[in-house]
Structure 1
Amino acid sequence: MLWLLIGLKAWWEGANQPGLPREGDALLHAYRALEMARMWRAGVLYPRWAPDLAGGAGYPLFVFHAPLFPWLVAALSIGLGLSIEQAMKAVLMIATLGGSLGVYLLARRWKLSPPAAMTAGLAFGYMPFQLQQSNYPQYLAITLLPWLLIIVDGALRGGGFTRRWSLSLTVALLGLSHNLTALMGYLLALSYAFALGISRKSRGRNLRKALAAFALGLGMALPYLGPSLIEIPQVHLERARTGVYEMVHHFRSLLQLLWWAPIRDERWGNRPLILTIGLHQALLALPSFALGLPGRRRTWQVAVRWGWIAWLMMIFLMTPASRPLWAILPGLSYIQFPWRWLGPVGLIVALLIGFSVEMVKPSIRWPAAFGASLLLILGTLGFIYDGGSRVPFARATLADLHRYEREQLYPGLTATGELFPKWVEGWPEPPPDVVRAYARGEEPDRLDRRTLPPEALARTLRLGPLDQRWEIQVPHRTPVRFSVLGYPGWMVAVDGRPVPTWVEARAGWLWAEIPAGSHQVRLWFPGQWRWRLLDGIAIGIGLGWLIGSILRRRRRNLQDPPSGPPAGAPEPHGESLHWGATGVALLFLLALDLRLPYHLWRITRVPLDHPPGADLSVQTDFEGRIRLVGYQIDRWAVSPGETVRLTLWWRPLIDLDEDAHVYVHGIPADHPFAAAQAFQSDHVHPGDLPTRRWDPEKHYRDDHVLKIPYDLPPGPYRLRVGLYGGSNNRRWRAGSGEDDGVDLPQVLIVRRTVRALPSPVSFGEALQLNGGEWPGEVRASEPVELWLSWRALRPLDRTYTLFIHLVDEKGRLAAQQDRLQLTSMWPVGEDVPLRAKFPPLPPGRYRVRLGWYLWPSMEHLLVHGPSGGNPEWESPQELQVHP
């Protein structure tokens, strides 16, 4: 147990950094807990309606989202005077310790030795899925899973009231933690009970009592589970199950499920969610397979077989191959994201790691356990230390909550506003007086006085979050609007008598009619009668069974039959900490005390403005707020109709208060002063993350796919990158000048096959003419079109001008074009097709002369031949123009 606590030290160091992570849902759950604590202070312990969400319009958040985590945070915050941030971290620490302890005790129930059980407990605490997620209610529910299995084990062994009551309580707590994880946990517990029944031949009487206790536990969770199901038709829950949230987008391949955790700190702010079992954990669990083979200890054989079957089944459910199963099995799609099975999988893998350690010889089992524990810690450093700046939350207010909702586009602290009532369209704007009240830190008055007649009088009697009263005098029957969204459970009473209410079309505000005269009007939210019925059933089940069991019991079973070595019994031979193992233990303790995992991770940290693999030559600051750090491109030459993948790396220089959008424009480069774009890519949220959420201590990867049109003329194209934003989509200034964008250092070549010359022609060992096409004969009324294929032989730091002369038989200039080309941006070794079009020529014979020069010095690139260097090259092929 002591080593289990010490082993979690690295986890606690990562979680206890000041502030909360910017990425993920940490802040979202913190604000939910803030709302719960605010309601507790107002005397409402289970506020199914959250009146301060959606900008103050109200939201049925706690009808659909489990209350246990915010309850615990609110209890610690109010009871111990902790800030919401401190209370959250305390709950997470207790949950982590409790979950790891539960796995340890579960392993001991299967008669694993202390070192093996300790390793299993640490494997659960350092589960990659647990460490990288910030869905804290789900985290809490997963840490309850080992306790559910322990108590199922005990209930099937027999015993009385304590074990059955513990089972009911655990089932209820799991349901109140996270309904989706609870469903998976209940299925896992049923499979575990089946395995125990096979191995121990449990009596049917015990099984029936356990099932009854399980059902009573579900009944105790009815106050949440019931409304969360029956109220679905009242809201837009389909928004959270369509588009990017649709189940089909959240399967994982086997390679993804077994992928490594990050092995260095790349400061990648929008790194894709790494949903993995962890290759290091899978490899550590692999040896346990041998314990399931015939001829092994019967108890271990059954446990390992159950573990492997459950592991493989859950892996299958997370892969695309299981999609038909999700479609036909009732209730399975309720889990929403297949990768949620990683939580129960983590428990199974942790136990199998314990069995792997148990296979080691007793004399070296402790050193093996410490070695495996160190690997478990090192394998998850990328999740423990995220490397970015964090958001302080100690003094957060409701005004901060509203700002977070707006900036992050999280109405009601949900991703899509899926819990707005069905009759609400969009996101209603609360009246200005409600907004001003929140800004002053006051309770808002929900009576919209703008709907009262001018001669009406209204006096506030009481203001509470869910209960407000006024004395109102009106000259005639008057409909009055209240600044709350209508939802079943709101009531309005006039002089103590409920009156009918209705909701405003599209906006959803609650209305009621007040008779003429002076009246006391009350607006309050007592909830629905069926909610109160479910509350009563749950309380009745709990109290009734508790009282009935106490009255029926005449004898009390003080403790369960021991399943492992009795308390205080000596360790089996060879498993105690002998001098060699003691030395390893001391080294393990010293490594954690000196923060060795953190220092190892810090060595891998990428410097700011140096994302791995990026070309850093384009670093440019946009208005001192965002820096273009670098780029990566998969190729510089492409054919019409193909695509090019371009990755831009950005970093915010400050905390941004507005969203910036990115554009990439392809602009013809053979006419450098032409501004018309030929193709483009725009990202409203670069890197699929609003820039308001960006962390100045991290880089953000922005992937663009440039589609080259089939009819795009071949040639070189500049790739221009910039930012724009604001209500008028103003382009941001790049650098210290007036430019509104920056060109990538090389041009993109759209290919065209040009007939090759008999031998290439070199101009100053810098540029080479590889091909040329022009007609041998044309009519005098037809324009003349030439195609030339050029190649840069080396990187150029100058921009040359190409001249093309058409000369007649006497060597006189008949037509010419001089065109500045961005040769300093040409990629070396790529053929660059250039097109020149001349107006119709008089009849006669013509030759083509080509050359390059610098402007304004007129320094030419020379073509070397038998007679020395020439400033131009003349084609031996003639052009015949017929009348």
Structure 2
Amino acid sequence: MPLSGLWNFAEKIVVSKSRRVLQHLIIPLLALMLLLLPALYPLFVGGFAKTHDASVHLIRLYLLDEQVRAGNFFPRWLPDLMTGYGYPTFNFYAPLIYAVAEIMHLAGASLPYALTILMMMLIGTAAWGMWFLASDLYRPKDRKLEDGTTKVAQPHWAGIAAGVAYIYTPYLLVNLYVRGALAELLAQALLPWLFWSIARLFTAPTPRRYAIAAAALLGAIALGHNITLLLLPLLLGPYLILVWLTSPLARSERFVRLRTFVGYSLIVGGMTAFFWVPLLAERNLLSKSAFNAPHVEEHVWSFSTFLEFNFPYDYAVSSIPFRLGLAQAFLVLGGLLLTRRRSLCWWFWVALGGIALICVTPLILPLWRAVELLSIVQFPWRFLTVVSLATALVSGGIVTLTQRTSGQTMLAALVVAIAIAGGRPMIALFDTSIYDDIAVDPAAIARYEAGYGAWGAGWHREFLPKWAEAFDADPENTSSDGEGGGVRENEITLHTALPDESLKATGPEKVSLEFVSPTRLKLFVQSATPTTLRLNQFYFPGWSAWIDQGPILPTYPSTQQGIVTIDLPAGEQRIEIGWTDSWIENAAEWLSILTLLILGIALAWRRRRLAAALACAAAVGLALILRSPLQSQSEPLTLVHTEVLPGFQLLGYQTNLSANGRSLLLTPFWYNQRRFERLSVGWRLVDEDGTVMSQIHSAPYYGTQSARRWHPGSVIRDGYRLPLPTGTPAGDYRLEVRIDAETEKTKWLPVGIVSAPSGPVYHPIGAVFTDPQSREQLELTGYTLAVNGAEQDVASNTLPVARPGDRVTIRLYWRALRMLSEDYHSFIHLVNHERQALTALDKIPGQEIARPRFWDLAYPESDTYPLTIPSGAESGLYYPRVGFYDYDDMERFLLEDGNGTSDALDLAPIKIIAPQKAAPKHPLRVRYGEFAQLLGYTLTPEVASLQPGSMITLTLFYQGLQPATRSYTQFFHLYAPELGMAAQIDQPPLQGGNPTDTWQPDEIILEQVRLTVNPGAPPGDYTLYIGMYDPENGERVLLTDKQGATLVDRQLPLARIQVSESVR
């Protein structure tokens, strides 16, 4: 064959294959992605969803990021949790979702944006996986054509129908928008891919890729959701038997493929051993609270709770136990009745879904109580993960009712329409946070834990070490008053077991700090006798201590709190205390690394050099992640070593700017050799002139710990948040500390120089709101305003201008003057001059992890309100009206000012300019001073004669040139010198709603007035005069015509109107 013929033949094959890929793969998947947009719409426009676990995810991701930036890439221990006592979160909680989100965060996305992008990725992954799984399940048999070729069937309509039904399954969207269960959502996204890969393993001509994929998916689920991993043997065992029995391959070939899958699964098991081995082996080291089973009876269906009867599914009232949706039930019933291709696999999914449904009913209760392993599953309604998978697959079978492509298209469209209509999330039902208003820092985390009882950024203390069993989650309130501005603290404190009085008050005579990182510190200690040193962190295997160039020192728990304790020999020595993993964790990590190395060697032996190189590179990468040598100081350390009280020494401190830039985070390190009944610490920043720029007085660790729980001989990592008031200039400040303990109260002691950035810039207000019942108070310290993201200077004479469709973002800064007992609501109503609301927003103020009940008395909390100007808004001035109220009784807080008492505060106005499409019937060109011109007017009705008592409507069309120097009043006079005034109106534009001193260049102002002829007006010819004047002195505005000539008496004779005699 000539070369040109070979080229044409090859081109024909490539084009034909590309067309098939486009038609049967790319187009269906793109269509599927478009159909997902209603499910994702709230994520695009609503902000960060305030789900049950939203705060938990933000906190864990923030703490992971903090550790990663310090060089610890897989932190099993998070020292900032449990209000500073530490928690082994990632030793037991699957880390994959946070690892993926952290990569996106390091790439530039904020914490909430990274989590939102992850949510979108999981939804897309779930839809694609279900498309592949359903397409294979309902694939018709290939047909032999007359020319001997085989036409491969591509039933993508069934895949699209099942994929959409899966995404709009209520439980999947409940996990996304209500629970915020991202780990479970990850499992829901990966399960279709896992079952599809296993099915393909026993049918595809080249099984290796599917064996690798299935094993990798098992590993991802192991690192993604522990509970799903626990349930997988119950799901995969029967499924493997089924696909084995239904496979068309020879028995020997099936054995080979099964062996391949098992081999790859063992390899993946070894690669992920660094997580699942400690998870299983060290679970017995957790407290009994980690195994407390919920009240199972509350989490199973009854006849009235198995089905959500609202259509569409009402996610706002979705209550436990979570329910099936009407659309979901209707589609699965249709699938059961109408599916034509009922293979053994189809019956498997029907049976599996039915069994999973039974597991959510009271029939499961005896088994649940008898099998302890089920307590790890926690809730029977978790089986809805399996139900969702099965019902979506069965629903896709409706498409197989007909063989005709047009019929399948119509049936698929019907399934898609019902699924979307019945399951789509409505944005109005979800509470969201503004992305830019979410700031996470250790202070917010500590107050969130103590305030909500969400210890360890969770809800069940599921990872509390067993040696801290005496930990008590009941808060204890303390208060202290500050000096220099009267800053007050009344904080929620951690209540743990009191110190064991039988313990001797031991400890080295001298301790010096040399180095700190999040999970490591280096000390120089001196002691004449053997002694004991404690670290104010919960003990857990993994904490180690060693003498510099000397022996390892055993660590163990002591005190009723179970904190890290080390016995020290006499003498001078440098010791290092840090988290180095337990022997089980170290062994598991080396097992994962060695698995990859052995895999690389095996691949090299088989001359698969590229794969071997990748395996070895992965081993090196995993070693760097798990056994990172890069840990360093997270922030610069200032050494002090000053005794602020007898037996109480400040070793040093670190400073860091908070995420929102409005405060300094101060981390002091104390060495304590005494007992305290009460202790509070004051901090302040003083400039070179002695002026106090910022000051707080607080209980330890952001107001959440009590020094009564500090044991003698302890090194204590503490924390405080020092606000930067608005207007604080950037520069170096003297940091001073003062201790208030029982009867001892120190003077302010300088401890170092701190570089601080400038304070936040906002317009100060200082309005105080008071609850008339409880007398609780809070202050609106100030606010900022932005239009379409551009900050406006509300303190200047420049008026903020917005147009319909624009987004006006108002950020309020609240400060509690007393501890608030409730999560009160705040509101902003954008009102006109008549106090009629144009748009409004009411919500719980503050960010997701800092609600009003836990506001810091010294720290203004931000509260952002995005307001979209409606399309029908009229031009004029509008006032943001701000207030606070109790949601239970709708009673507003009261505001007292010089004008009396009110229940709302009007902020500085904004100007809205609406487009005007109407045109004047009578064009003109008359200039009003230097600020406007009259473009024309319209009279309604257009009559030359009026009777007394009749009315005429005049519409003027002004065009603004610039704001006037003052607010002028218009006059409209129907007047004749010899007859007098027949009609008169004097009023500002829009009756005060659009003053002339706010008119903007090129703004079109429509002024409509209704003139009524006086009943006693004598008949005759009158002239309608218009103009403007200064209401303070009566001086009229200069009017000039289009030739520049000044109009007589500074008034415009607009029209001649005859008043006739009254008809009786």
After TM superposition, the score normalised by the length of structure 1 is 0.58
Whether the aligned pair in 2 keeps the contact of 1:128 and 1:383 (CA below 8 Å) is: no
Deviation at 1:179, TM superposition (A): 0.8
1:541-568: CA deviations, max 9, x gaps? 34434542564488999xxxxxxxxxxx
- Cα displacement (A) at 1:524: 0.9
Q: Which residue of 1 aligns with 2:262?
A: 211
Pair 1:426 & 2:471 matched: yes
Change (3 A) 1:453 1:146: closer
Aligned residue for 1:528? 582
| Partner in structure 1 of residue 117 of structure 2 | 90
Which residue type is aligned with residue 58 of structure 1? G
Write the distance in 2 (CA, Å) between the matches of 1:507 and 1:209: 50
One-letter amino acid of the counterpart of residue 362, structure 1? T
**CA apart distance, 1:691:** 8.6
Q: Does structure 2 retain, via aligned residues, the 8 Å contact 1:261–1:382? A: no
CA–CA separation in structure 2 for the residues paired with 1:194 and 1:10: 38
Q: Deviations over 1:712-760 (max 9, x none)?
A: xxxxxxxxxx9999xxxxx9999989xxxxxxxxxxxxxxxxxxxxxxx
**1:260 to 1:544, Cα distance in 2 relative to 1, 3 A:** farther
On the 8 A contact 1:261/1:274 being kept in 2, the answer is no
Q: Aligned pair 1:150/2:204, yes or no? A: no
Structure 2: distance between partners of 1:546 and 1:170: 20
1:526 Cα deviation from its structure 2 partner: 0.8
Distance of 1:554 and 1:696 partners within structure 2: 58
> Does the C-alpha gap of structure 1 residues 385 and 733 become closer, same or farther in structure 2, counting only changes over 3 Å?
closer
Say whether the 8 Å CA contact 1:259–1:277 is kept in structure 2. Answer: yes
Q: 1:73 corresponds to which residue? A: 101
1:473 corresponds to: 526
Secondary structure of residue in 1 paired with 2:429: coil
Counterparts of 1:788-807 in structure 2, within 5 Å, are none
Residue identity in the other structure for 1:536:
W
| 2:39–2:425 CA contact under 8 A, matched in 1 | no
Q: Secondary structure at the match of 1:423?
A: helix
Instruction: Indicate how the Cα distance of structure 1 residues 376 and 464 shifts in structure 2: closer, same or farther if over 3 A, else same.
Output: same
Alignment correspondent of 2:131: 104
1:140 to 182, 186, 205: 186
Aligned partners of 1:184 and 1:341 also within 8 Å: no
Q: Which has the higher contact order (CA 8 A, sep 6+)?
A: 1
Name 2:169's counterpart in structure 1: 127
Q: How does 1:470-869 map to 2 (within 5 A)?
A: 470-495=523-548, 496-545=550-599, 547-549=601-603, 551-552=605-606, 658-660=820-822, 692=853
Q: CA deviation at 1:390?
A: 2.5
8 Å contact kept, 2:302–2:361: yes
Distance 1:621 1:347, change over 3 A: farther
Q: Distance in 2 between matches of 1:732 and 1:255?
A: 32
SS in 2 for 1:412: coil
Contact 1:21 1:391 in 2 (8 A): no
Q: Deviations over 1:433-486 (max 9, x none)?
A: xxxxxx9xxxxxxxx9x98869625132x2111221122233443322212111
Unaligned residue ranges in structure 1 (runs of 5+): 433-438, 440-447, 558-619, 627-653, 663-689, 698-721, 726-730, 738-883
Unmatched segments (≥5 aa) in structure 2: 1-28, 140-154, 479-488, 490-498, 612-770, 778-813, 825-850, 856-861, 865-884, 896-1064
The offset of 1:140, in angstroms, is 1.0
Q: Is the 8 A contact 2:291 2:376 kept in 1?
A: no
| 1:262-411 matched pairs, under 5 angstroms | 263=312, 272-273=319-320, 275-290=322-337, 297=341, 300-328=342-370, 331-360=373-402, 361-382=404-425, 385-390=428-433, 392=435, 394-411=438-455
Alignment partner for residue 460 of structure 2, among 408, 416, 419?
416
2:54 maps to 1:26:
yes
State the AA in 1 paired with 2:345.
A
Q: Does 1:180 align with 2:227?
A: yes
Instruction: Tell me the distance in 2 between the aligned counterparts of 1:155 and 1:184.
Output: 21
Deviation at 1:319, TM superposition (A): 0.8
- Structure 2: distance between partners of 1:410 and 1:489: 24
- Deviation of the 1:111 alpha carbon: 4.3
- Partner in structure 2 of residue 222 of structure 1: 273
Question: CA contact under 8 A between 2:533 and 2:568: conserved in structure 1?
Answer: yes
Q: CA deviation at 1:345?
A: 1.5
Q: Is the CA contact (8 Å cut-off) linking 1:660 and 1:724 kept in structure 2?
A: no
Q: Secondary structure at the match of 1:493?
A: strand
Larger helix fraction of residues: 1
Give the counterpart of 1:163 among 194, 203, 210. 210
d(CA) in 2 for partners of 1:64 and 1:128?
28
3-state SS of 1:415 partner: coil
Q: Distance in 2 between matches of 1:274 and 1:306?
A: 26
Shift of 1:356: 1.2
Closer/same/farther in 2, CA of residues 380 and 370 from structure 1, 3 Å limit: same
Query: CA distance change for structure 1 residues 723 and 261 in 2, over 3 Å: closer, same or farther?
Result: closer
**1:471 alignment partner AA:** F
After TM superposition, list the pairs within 5 Å mapping 1:37-48 onto structure 2.
37-48=65-76
Q: Superposition RMSD on alpha carbons, in Å? A: 4.1
CA distance in 1, matches of 2:343, 2:521: 64
Distance 1:512 1:195 in 2: 57
Q: Percent identity?
A: 24
Amino acid at match of 2:417: L
Q: Contact between 2:78 and 2:88, CA under 8 Å: does it hold in 1?
A: yes
Structure with bigger strand share is 2
Corresponding residue for 1:251? Answer: 300
Matched-pair contact (CA < 8 Å) for 2:58–2:112: yes
Letter in 2 for 1:249: E
Distance in 2 between the 1:655 and 1:369 partners? Answer: 55
1:826-862, CA deviations, whole angstroms, 9 ceiling, x for partnerless residues? xxxxxxxxxxxxxxxxxxxxxxxxxxxxxxxxxxxxx
CA distance in 1, matches of 2:246, 2:772: 67
| Superimposed CA distance per residue, residues 768-793 of structure 1 (whole angstroms, 9 cap, x where no aligned partner) | xxxxxxxxxxxxxxxxxxxxxxxxxx
Amino acid at match of 2:471: G
Q: Secondary structure at the match of 1:413?
A: coil
Which of 224, 240, 243 in structure 2 is aligned with 1:193? 240
How far apart in 1 are the matches of 2:171 and 2:852? 26
User: Which SS does the other structure have where 1:30 is aligned?
Assistant: helix
Q: Deviations over 1:493-549 (max 9, x none)?
A: 122421133322212221223333321110011111111211222333344345425
Amino acid at match of 1:301: S
Aligned residue type for 2:378: Q
Please give the TM-score of this superposition, normalised by the length of structure 2. Answer: 0.49
- Please tell me whether residue 62 in structure 1 is matched to residue 90 in structure 2: yes
Equivalent position of 2:948 in the other structure: none
Distance 2:457 2:270 in 1: 28
Q: 1:182: how far off?
A: 2.0
Give secondary structure in 2 for the equivalent of 1:256: coil
Q: Between Structure 1 and Structure 2, how many residues are aligned?
A: 567
Q: CA offsets, 1:396-421, max 9 Å, x none?
A: 22222222212221111121323221
Q: In 2 relative to 1, CA 207–383 (structure 1 residues): closer, same or farther, beyond 3 Å?
A: farther
Aligned position for 1:234 = 285
Segment drifting more, 356-365 vs 545-554: 545-554
The alignment partner of 1:479 has SS state of strand
Cα offset, 1:38, TM superposition? 1.3
* Alignment partners' CA distance in 2, 1:69 and 1:526: 24
